[in-house]
Amino acid sequence: MTLVLVGINHRSASLATRERLAFPPDSLGDALRRLCGTPPVREAVLLSTCNRTEVLALLDGSGPPAAAAIQAFLAAERHFDADELGRIVYTFEGSEVVRHLFRLGVGLDSMILGEPQILGQLKAAAQTAAAAGCLGNGLGSLMQRSFAVSKRLRTETAIGRNPVSVSFAAVELAEKIFGDLSSCGVLILGAGKTAELTARHLHGQGVRKIFVANRTFDRAERLARAFDGEAIPFERFLETLEQVEILISSTSSTVPVLRHEDAQRVIRRRRNRSLFLIDLAVPRDIEPSVNQIDNIYLYDLDDLQQVADAGLAERRTAAAAAERQITDEVAAYEVWCREREVGPTIVALREKVFGMRDAEVERFRSRLQAAPPEARRAVEEITESLLNKLLHGPIQHLKRSATGGGADHVAMVRQIFGLDTSDGEAPGRKGAGLPAKEEPPE
């Protein structure tokens, strides 16, 4: 059995290419069933987001043919040229897959370092695979372990605690000023992309109400609908500014749209309630001197970029610590996998050998009937002692292989003693859901 991951992401492929290789959400289950119904695939998980498409699979066999089977599946499913796909995919096998999944869940492989959405996407991919009948004990235990590692490292490191983009920085600053944003209203002035993204983050934090003002009222209405907000005429923005706590300004005006004297009138009418102004325009929409007014907090692009740069530096420091912990987590997971295989092998070995002893004793039972009870007990004790001494070496070797890296040794012992039977199903068989047992220790 071989663990393989084949995929493309934002570093290996352009956006246009990623779009062509993306799977619509409602097609994932059927695609997985087709993949798992094709040898040598035993289990599979398919992750498809705006930044990556990856297939994680447990296969019979190893080496290039195993990865080639996954590449062929991707090319056929997305009607993509196989040679072109071969130039942009990356392939991981064995422990490299484990490391990649652990890094992925923590956000170390994301476009935005440490972003949290990928963990939810991984969990959704696992659930889809389980519903399709393509997730068993093999991949199920690995996915569960990746979730646990991600949760622990996000708690123990600062990988996700600091803003790394202008829009995230604006939201974090707003939370520092107001605390709970659920009581805050937001006014979006203009319809710039960065302003929209910032508003989307604020909306995600549960702000009370979003108003949109734009010189083209139709555009204001479209943007307002995206946030269940309200469009207002541009001429009324000062009036609306008296009702909200946060202004996001991103117009194309060549002169300031909010002047010092206007801001003074607004803050007086607000009875000095705090006002947070985010100026994302170039040239600036808000006169810099507005920041000198008491209870007004003004941040422009340079201010927010400094916050984002500082956050990125802190996340990079946290990422280095997370990488070191992931190395330990990968090693611990590999030991657990070997121990999980060694234990049943030792039990099977003893059962097989002592079963042969019992069969031979039964075969000679008629001859032993005439012997006194002491002699019969002596035969059992002698054979048991002999077999324990015979098995001592192989069993100790198996136990050492669990911590020293010896999957091949386990396979050799099973082959020598004939422990793999044709009527049994190999470990990692498919199941209907995430495994309830045999999960790796926390």
**Per-residue pLDDT tens over the stretch 166-207:** 777 888 888 888 888 999 999 999 877 777 887 888 888 899
pLDDT digits over 99-153, tens only?
999 999 988 888 777 777 788 999 999 999 999 999 998 899 999 999 999 988 8
User: Contact at 8 Å (CB) between 13 and 21?
Assistant: yes
The enclosing domain of 246 has a CATH number of: 3.40.50.720
Paired tokens of 178: 């107001």
Which structural domain, as residue segments, surrounds residue 245? 166-309
The total number of structural domains in the chain stands at: 3
Final residue belonging to a domain, choices 120, 145, 161? 161
pLDDT at residue 423, rounded to an integer:
38
* Spatial distance between the Cα atoms of 317 and 161, rounded to a whole number of angstroms: 12
Q: How far apart are CA 427 and CA 412, in angstroms?
A: 16
Mean of the pLDDT values across residues 338-353? Answer: 78
In this structure, are 365 and 296 located in the same domain?
no
pLDDT tens digit sequence for 252-306: 888 999 999 999 999 999 998 999 999 988 789 999 999 999 999 999 888 887 8
The reply to whether 243 and 105 lie within a common domain is no
**CATH number, domain containing residue 110:** 3.30.460.30
Three-state secondary structure call for residue 344: helix
Residue type (1 letter), 97 = V
Question: Is the whole-model pTM more than 0.75?
Answer: no
Asked whether residue 436 is assigned to any structural domain, the reply reads no
Note whether 137 and 202 are same-domain residues.
Answer: no
Tell me, yes or no, whether 136 lies in a domain. yes
Could you tell me if residue 33 is inside a domain?
yes
Given a contact cutoff of 8 angstroms between Cβ atoms, the answer to whether 247 and 185 are in contact is no
Label residue 398 exposed, middle or buried (CB < 10 Å: 0-12, 13-18, 19+): buried
Q: Same domain for 173 and 157? A: no
Indicate the pairing of strand 185-190 with strand 296-300.
unpaired
Q: How far is CA 352 from CA 67, 173, 363, 376, 399, in A?
A: 36, 67, 16, 22, 18
83 CB-contact burial (10 Å; exposed 0-12 / middle 13-18 / buried 19+): exposed
Cα 131 to Cα 142: distance, rounded to the nearest angstrom:
17
Which residues form the catalytic set?
Answer: 50
Tell whether 323 is covered by a domain. no
Distance of CA 432 to the CA centre of its chain: 21
Q: What is the CA radius of gyration of the chain?
A: 31
Question: Structure tokens of 104?
Answer: 């992925």
Residue 433 pLDDT more than 50? Answer: no
